A and B are shown apart, each in its own frame.
Chain A
Amino acid sequence: MTSQTSPFPANRMFATQALPLRRDRQLGSKSLFGLAWLVSLAALLPLGFILWITIQTGWETASALIFRPRVAELLVNTVLLEALTLPACIALAVALAWLTERSDLPGARLWSWLAVAPLAIPAFVHSYAWIGLAPGMHGLFAAMLVSVLAYLPFLYLPVSAQLRRLDPALEDAAASLGLAPWRVFLRVVLPQLRIAICGGSLLIGLHLLAEYGLYAMIRFDTFTTAIVDQFQSTYNGPAANMLAGVLVLSCLGLLALEVLIRGDARYARVGSGAPRPVTRRRLGRARVPALLLPLALAGLGLGIPAYTLARWLAAGHGAAWQAPELAAAFGETLLYALSGALVTTLAAAPMAWLSVRAPGRLQRMLEGSHYYVGALPGVVVALALVTVTVRIAPLYQSVATVLLAYALMFLPRALVGLRSGIAQVPVELERAAVSLGRRPLLAILSVTLRLAAPGVAACMALVAMGITTELTATLMLAPNGTTTLATQFWSLTNELDYAGAAPYAALMIVLSLPLTALLHAQSRRASGQ
């Protein structure tokens, strides 16, 4: 080799000073595990409370309370609700997502916004709207109808995001293997939507188990409504606690089912560069009939609430807007929603990181404990926290306790969002950043967190929205004199002052709207559009 001077001499800076040698710590995974454990233990608090109560109650009383026709009836109701609502939601979400993402449906962009918009309307406002329209509405099919309309976006969002992200090359390959278009969809596209469908269905399934207001208003009995009824009549009675025990079991069953179906599928996209944009399928003559689906869903999910609300607002002649309680409730709700979202996201972060970057059996267990707690009705979480905090005076009826309750209840939302956000970022990018001189922590901040930011923002929005409309735990745990939009709305509808309640419902929707918009925009940006 000649001794010509290189125009580009190698950097010698690194060789002059000795580098420190350390054990490879895998970026503080021990402390992450510690934090995840801590959150998991906190999440186990409500379950521990139920077990403790069961033991205190004794087997005979407990079994008398569990094995009775009333429980069987509630179980049948719950199973029927899940079995009817989930398949309907999946079918509608997949059809709607396919139409808005993969077909030349006129106004696809607009329909995609409208498909997410029902999220802005709290579930119990949905049933308030239907009751306003058809006061006699009740029972299983009413419950199913309102549930589908209220919760469909939870499935539509992940499914449509996944559809956008799919590599069209796979579909081309399948078509070249002789599959007709609809078989390509069944054998190639649908299996790839599995993770999105599983995640969304789990979220909806858990909501069905935990929701109180929606079903109470249309008089459909589930475990949660029964527990609240019991609690209101007997305060801390063993009957409510035993029902809660059965509810916890149903929730664990749902979790196990999801784990079983989800399997070991990979989340991160492999392959080079960004995916090519997908081609939209021409609907041809089906274009106009295809419009019926988004039209019907928007009409039922948005039109009816808008109509009822407008009617009640007009009936109130604006007097309800003048009430000073309204402004106070608005401010307080905002504060709780923002601080609660922050606390919850922070609490879910260690687990989300571990479950993506270092999956294992222990992580699954810890994850399960993060999930199950979100399925507990607010009343169970609140009941457990009341029992604990009543012994620690400064915590009883404090803001900290309310935030803790929120963090526990909305942990699954935060975890689902964070997990998929982190999973979208290949480790290779982080390694590349480190090899370019970024400290590991900075590499995570500037690359992984930056790319996961849409997911993080989305999950915070989801949590904040949940808190905006949270009812029972707030009622039970908040310091005296706290009024949020949801609690005020509820007490007014209980007094049958539907017109007075309307401004509260409208404000809750207004508060949720920007968050919904953000959520929708982020999910588009995350897939590079």
Chain B
Amino acid sequence: MSLLDISGVSKRYGQQAALDGIDLSVPARSRTAIVGPSGSGKTTLLRIIAGFESPDSGSVTLDGQVLADGPLIAPAHRRGIGYVPQDGALFPHLDVAENIGFGLERGDAARNDRIAELMDMVELDRAMLTRRPHELSGGQQQRVALARALARKPALMLLDEPFSALDAGLREAVRKSVARVLQQAGITAILVTHDQAEALSFADQVAVLRQGRLAQVGTPHALYWQPKDRDTALFLGDATVLHAELSEGFATCALGRIPAETAARTGRVSVMLRPEQIRLSPATPGQEQAGACHGEVEDIEFGGSLCAITVAVEANGARERILVHASSLDLPAPGTRVRLDVIGKAHILVR
């Protein structure tokens, strides 16, 4: 059952359409990532859900409760939606304990226990309770901000690029622990980010936002392997997009005749292949004529566990560059001829 329903939400700032007819539903206890380049409207969408902004049209419903109906909105402070802003936005005049307890009743006897419990939940040392925000590292600030938002047991948690200010190693650790905390607490979460890798690894459901419109919504796996269009395909990861001729369930392209997802379509289409779908092997003389696809290694980008290899393939007089991922063991030298084999099927792009 979906907890949050957004339907037909649009918002303009003057001539500029920030959001254009957004429909999205978020299942209870799930994690949804809204991902898009900057200026795609993702923060505006988050602010509309939080109640800091009103949509021009459309509605937002949380657990049957109407939060926004066109420009009429429910007050943000009564929505019971948790919010973790980009840099934590901890109150600089309060210590950690008071920051976490900000949303809790002052007179409550259990308040201190609750604050301590929240500190444990976000894996912070209780000794930090008396620290001021400026005495904390970025990751600690982010954890305090999460604890502060968790204190009121929100049904829904909004995370506005909470990891973007952290350095890479820390970012992954904090992301994992945030996901775990939310999972344990059974809280539905919406993460807004511009980082596709973060979106794919954090969420059960990913929504790609582009120029104020939802390009595609689905599970990370579905979005990665079955993007509707070229832009989404390239936004979510490296890919090779090739022109192909479809017939009898096969796509004929620069890589030769490879199985297509469907036999239902025929004609000229664009197909997408992820770099990990292509396997390289040394070319053996004589096979080049036997129908197997061959190319010349153009460039190698060493990446530790995974290296990106660009292979130039000649087909019908045109030169296509194919991106391949390979282990850094047994890398071919630039200029050598290699054989390319496709694993799995070619995905057909809708547009």
B is bound to A:
yes
B267 to chain A, nearest CB (A): 42
A87 to chain B, nearest CB (A): 36
Interface string of A18-42 (1 = CB under 8 A from B): 1111111000000000000000000
Known: A23-B54, A439-B77, A440-B77. A11 touches B149 (CB 8 A): no
Known: A10-B154, A24-B53. A273 touches B133 (CB 8 A): yes
A142 within 8 Å of B (CB atoms): no
Contact status A24-B54, CB under 8 Å:
yes
Contact status B149-A8, CB under 8 Å:
no
Interface string of B64-84 (1 = CB under 8 A from A): 111111011111111111110
From the candidates B54, B64, B133, name the one contacting A274 in the complex (CB within 8 A): B133
Q: Which one of A20, A23, A273, A426 has the highest number of Cβ atoms from chain B below 10 Å of its Cβ?
A: A273
B87 within 8 Å of A (CB atoms): yes
A265 within 8 Å of B (CB atoms): no
Contact status A435-B50, CB under 8 Å:
yes
Residues of chain A contacted by B87 (CB below 8 angstroms)? 271-273, 428
B 114-153 contacts with A by CB, 8 A: 121, 132-134, 136, 138, 141, 145, 148-153
Which chain B residue lies CB-closest to A13? B80
A481 within 8 Å of B (CB atoms): no
From the candidates B29, B92, B151, B155, name the one contacting A14 in the complex (CB within 8 A): B155
Contact status B89-A426, CB under 8 Å:
yes
Contact status A14-B52, CB under 8 Å:
no
Contact status A432-B155, CB under 8 Å:
no
In the bound assembly, the distance between CA atoms of A23 and B92 in angstroms comes to: 31
Known: A6-B185, A8-B185. A432 touches B85 (CB 8 A): yes
A12 within 8 Å of B (CB atoms): yes
Residues of chain B contacted by A11 (CB below 8 angstroms)? 80, 152-155
Contact status B77-A438, CB under 8 Å:
yes
Known: A21-B72, A437-B152. A528 touches B134 (CB 8 A): yes
From the candidates A10, A434, A436, A450, name the one contacting B155 in the complex (CB within 8 A): A10
In the bound assembly, the distance between CA atoms of A9 and B150 in angstroms comes to: 11
B 136-180 contacts with A by CB, 8 A: 136, 138, 141, 145, 148-155, 158, 165
Contact status A7-B184, CB under 8 Å:
yes
In the bound assembly, the distance between CA atoms of A23 and B53 in angstroms comes to: 10
Contact status A10-B72, CB under 8 Å:
no
A433 within 8 Å of B (CB atoms): yes
* Majority SS at the chain A contact face: loop
Q: How large is the interface on B (under 10, 10 to 19, 20 to 34, 35 or more residues)?
A: 35 or more
From the candidates A10, A14, A432, A443, name the one contacting B89 in the complex (CB within 8 A): A432
Contact status B29-A1, CB under 8 Å:
yes
B225 within 8 Å of A (CB atoms): no
Contact status A429-B91, CB under 8 Å:
yes
Contact status B141-A273, CB under 8 Å:
yes
Contact status B136-A433, CB under 8 Å:
no
B28 to chain A, nearest CB (A): 9
Contact status B80-A14, CB under 8 Å:
yes
Contact status A10-B186, CB under 8 Å:
yes
Contact status A436-B149, CB under 8 Å:
yes
In the bound assembly, the distance between CA atoms of A273 and B141 in angstroms comes to: 8
B103 within 8 Å of A (CB atoms): yes
A32 to chain B, nearest CB (A): 18
Which chain B residue lies CB-closest to A525? B93
B313 within 8 Å of A (CB atoms): no
In the bound assembly, the distance between CA atoms of A9 and B80 in angstroms comes to: 13
Which chain A residue lies CB-closest to B153? A11
Residues of chain B contacted by A10 (CB below 8 angstroms)? 153-155, 185-188
Known: A21-B74, A273-B141. A431 touches B152 (CB 8 A): no
From the candidates B63, B67, B83, name the one contacting A431 in the complex (CB within 8 A): B83
A102 to chain B, nearest CB (A): 19
Known: A14-B80, A19-B66. A434 touches B93 (CB 8 A): no
A15 within 8 Å of B (CB atoms): yes
Contact status A6-B89, CB under 8 Å:
no
Contact status B62-A15, CB under 8 Å:
yes
A506 within 8 Å of B (CB atoms): no
In the bound assembly, the distance between CA atoms of A245 and B143 in angstroms comes to: 60
Contact status B64-A435, CB under 8 Å:
no
A360 to chain B, nearest CB (A): 13
Q: Which one of A15, A19, A450 has the highest number of Cβ atoms from chain B below 10 Å of its Cβ?
A: A19
Contact status B138-A273, CB under 8 Å:
yes
Contact status B72-A23, CB under 8 Å:
yes
B60 to chain A, nearest CB (A): 11
Contact status B134-A435, CB under 8 Å:
no
A451 within 8 Å of B (CB atoms): yes
Known: A23-B71, A428-B89. A435 touches B155 (CB 8 A): no
Known: A272-B87, A437-B152. A19 touches B78 (CB 8 A): yes
Known: A24-B53, A272-B87, A428-B85. A9 touches B153 (CB 8 A): yes
Residues of chain B contacted by A7 (CB below 8 angstroms)? 184-185
Residues of chain A contacted by B50 (CB below 8 angstroms)? 431, 435
In the bound assembly, the distance between CA atoms of A271 and B134 in angstroms comes to: 12
In the bound assembly, the distance between CA atoms of A439 and B75 in angstroms comes to: 8
In the bound assembly, the distance between CA atoms of A439 and B79 in angstroms comes to: 11
In the bound assembly, the distance between CA atoms of A272 and B138 in angstroms comes to: 7
- Chosen A-B contacts, 17 in total, with CB atoms closer than 8 Å, are A8-B184, A10-B186, A14-B80, A19-B79, A21-B73, A22-B72, A23-B72, A24-B54, A24-B73, A272-B87, A272-B88, A432-B145, A434-B52, A435-B82, A436-B103, A437-B152, A451-B93
> In the complex, given contacts A6-B186, A19-B79, A447-B91, what are 12 additional A-B residue pairs having Cβ atoms less than 8 angstroms apart?
A12-B155, A23-B54, A274-B92, A275-B134, A428-B87, A431-B85, A432-B91, A435-B83, A438-B102, A438-B103, A440-B77, A528-B134
Closest 5 pairs (CB-CB, A-B): A274-B134, A436-B103, A6-B186, A14-B80, A272-B87
